[in-house]
Every structure is written in structure tokens, then in C-alpha cells.
Structure 1
Amino acid sequence: MMNFLALVLVAFVCFGLVFFIKQRQYNHPALRMPYALKQPLFQPSERELLALLQQAVGERFQILCKVRVADVVDVTAVPRRAPWYRAVNRISAARFDFLLCDLQTLTPCCAIEMEQPDQANAFVDELCQTVDLPLIRLTPETARAYDRLCAAIENAINSTPSAA
């Protein structure tokens, strides 16, 4: 009987030690708040394009960077939950590289992406077409050429039905 009590006491002490150690580990700042500031916020090509955009349209539009699609596009009424959640999930992680907005109202006028169209981003192309938001996909050459960039923006904005 004495061996049984000693065994229970040892087990209880071991459990207490394990609990105490795990609790201290969890409360460690690196585990409790495992975050760090991303450095840099923009890649060099994104910084170059932002500077060019500011030069090209900074007086006409407010330029917003790395905007979540879900902050710009609402999911319309979907009769059942499962399709609604699928629709929300499709836009929740997506983002626009740059968004040109009206200076006064901040209404989105044009989205700009620094990647070429492909199967992976075809959804964003179709989404922008559906919500009537012009989308410009820039080639590396266009992203570095002031005249080409201005022409691409003017073409996109002037060719939408809402701009007419």
C-alpha cells in the first residue's frame, strides 16, 4: 500500500512539473506573440511602380497598396451557407497590388496587378469584370515605362462602361 501511495505521489509531482514547464513555455513571449514586422513592406519592383504611379496619377487618384479584395468586393446574397462561405473564402486571401481610388470618395476606379494573367489568377480577372472594376496586369516593361503605364491606365479607365 505504501508503494502505491509513493507511486501516486511521484506521478502527481511529475504531472505538476510537466504542467508548470508547459505553462512557462506557452507564456514565453516568442510563443505567445509569434509575430515580426515584415521587412521591407515592398519589393524593389513594387517600390518603383508605386513611385511611377504617384508621378503618373497621384494628382488624379489616391493610390492604395496591397488592398485585400474582400475589403473592396462584397459577396452578394447567396441562398445557402456553403456556397456563401466558398465565395467569401475565394476573396479573403486575395489582394490587389495597387488600387486607384477617387480622391474625394475613395471609390475604387482601377486595380493594378504586377503579374501576368494565367490560370491561377483568372478568378481575379473574372471577378473584376463581374464587379465592373478595370484591372490592369502589367508586364515588367510597362511597369517601368511612364508613357506605357499612363496609356494602360487611361485605356482601362476609359474602356469601362461605368466610365462612359
Structure 2
Amino acid sequence: MDLLITFAAFFVLALFLRAAAHAADHDAHPYAMRKYLLSKAERSFHGVLQQAAPPGTQIYSKVRMADVLQVRKGARNRLGFFNKISSKHFDFVLTDASTSAIIAVIELDDASHRSNRAKISDTFKNKATEAADLPLMRVDAARSYGVADLRMRLKALMPAGETEQSRSNGRPHSSVDTESTSVTLDSTTI
């Protein structure tokens, strides 16, 4: 009987220690997974953007600015300038699919961009991309987008001399004729 009581006490102590360690781990790493990577407005726009993207390109979402821009060598206060871009992101980045060369960045401007804090951040992004000679396209969030209009705006961002044929490496590109297509997004609050 003493052996059974000792075993039970040991078992309860082990459970207690495990629970304490689990609680301490949660305090040391207080993270939880987000349910979705993109908001509903971003997800809907991403779908339209994929339809409008030129052949031979790839679109990435929520890319950290520091993964797209770098501080120029020799700049004073490099760490300070790096810190300014390390915690911000671009909504979408358009790249060459075969080389991953960065072509342009796209920002989806919804109602949250009207706040003073967002205006300061938007101005910083505008100036940083301009200094880096990186095309930045801003799109006002809307309930629907014209694929043809978006396609034309994206083509205007492509480097001079780039053609659909050169981006698709000479392979024919099949696509649906969407020149007159308009895509309606989820009826969510933007």
C-alpha cells in the first residue's frame, strides 16, 4: 500500500512539474498562430493580382521591407536605417518567376491608410522605394477591380525591354481572355 501511495504522489508531482514547465514556456514564448496570413481584402485583391500579373512573374505577399531593400554600404547609422525597414512590410512583391529578381512592390491602401500614423509610414515607403529605384504601385482598396486595368498598370512597372515572351522563356503562355473582366471581391469591410 505504501508503494501505491508513493507511486501516486510521484505521479501527481510529475504532472505538477510538467504543468509548471508548460506555463513557464508560454510565459517565455507568448506566441499564438494567427488564423489567416492575409486579411479578407488582401486575399481577394491577391486573387485579382494573380490574374493580372504578367506571364513569367510571381507575386509574394507580406514581405518584410528588409528582404526587399538594403541599406547602402557606407551609409551613416546603418543599423538605425536597417531598423526602420526591419519591422515594416510590403503588401505584395512582384518578382521574375525564374530568377526571383524584384520587379516592383504593390501596396493595397484601405481605410486604415487615412490615419496620421499610416500616412507617415506610407510616406516613408514612398521615399525609400524611390531612393532605391524600386517601382511602387499603390492601389486603393475597392469592392471590385478591373483585371485589364490592373494588368496595364503592372506592365508599366516592368523593366524596359522586358516582354511577355522573354519572361516566359519562349514558352507559350495560355491565359483566359480577361481584358473586359472585372472581379468583384468579398463584401467585407475594407
Q: Do these two structures clear the TM 0.5 threshold for a shared fold by scoring above it?
A: yes
1:129 aligns with 2:123: no
Q: How many residues align?
A: 136
Counterpart of 1:100, as a letter, is L
TM-score, structure 2 normalization? 0.63
**Which of 62, 66, 74 in structure 1 is aligned with 2:70?**
74
Number of the residue aligned with 1:103: 97
Report which of the two has the higher share of helix.
1
Shift of 1:109: 0.4
Correspondence list, 1:11-50, <5 A: 24=20, 28-50=24-46
- Equivalent residue of 2:93, what SS? strand
Q: Which residue of 1 aligns with 2:84?
A: 90
Q: Which whole-Å CA distance do the structure 2 matches of 1:46 and 1:129 have between them?
A: 24
* Structure 2: runs of 5+ lacking an equivalent: 1-19, 162-190
Structure 1's 143 and 111: CA in aligned 2 closer, same or farther, altered over 3 A? farther
**Percent of residue pairs bearing the same amino acid type:** 29
2:160 corresponds in structure 1 to 163
Q: Which amino acid aligns with 2:146?
A: A
Asked whether the 8 Å contact 2:56–2:98 carries over to 1, the reply is: no
Change (3 A) 1:143 1:154: farther
Q: Match of 2:95, SS?
A: strand
For residues 144 and 99 of structure 2, the distance between their equivalents in structure 1, rounded to whole angstroms, comes to 26
Distance in 1, Cα, partners of 2:105 & 2:84: 17
Which amino acid is 1:156 matched to?
L
Greater relative contact order: 1 or 2 (C-alpha under 8 angstroms, separation 6 or more)? 2
* C-alpha distance 142-108 of structure 1, shift in aligned 2 (>3 A): farther
Counterpart contact for 2:104–2:134, Cα < 8 Å: yes
User: Partners of 1:85 and 1:126 in 2: how far apart?
Assistant: 18
Alignment RMSD (CA, Å): 2.5
Gaps of 5+ in 1: 1-23
Cα 1:154/1:29, change in 2 over 3 Å: same
CA positional deviation for 1:151: 2.1
Structure 1 residues 142, 90: CA separation in 2 closer, same or farther (over 3 Å shift)?
Answer: farther
SS at match of 1:39: coil
CA distance, structure 2, for counterparts of residue 79 and residue 132 of structure 1: 17
Q: Which residue is 1:6 aligned to?
A: none
CA contact (8 A) 1:48 1:144 kept: no
| Cα pair distance change 1:59/1:136, threshold 3 Å | same
Following the alignment from structure 1 to structure 2, what is the Cα–Cα distance between the partners of residues 148 and 142?
15
Give the superposition deviation at 1:59: 3.3
Distance in 2 (alpha carbons) for counterparts of 1:27 and 1:139: 44
**Partner residue in 1 for 2:12:** none
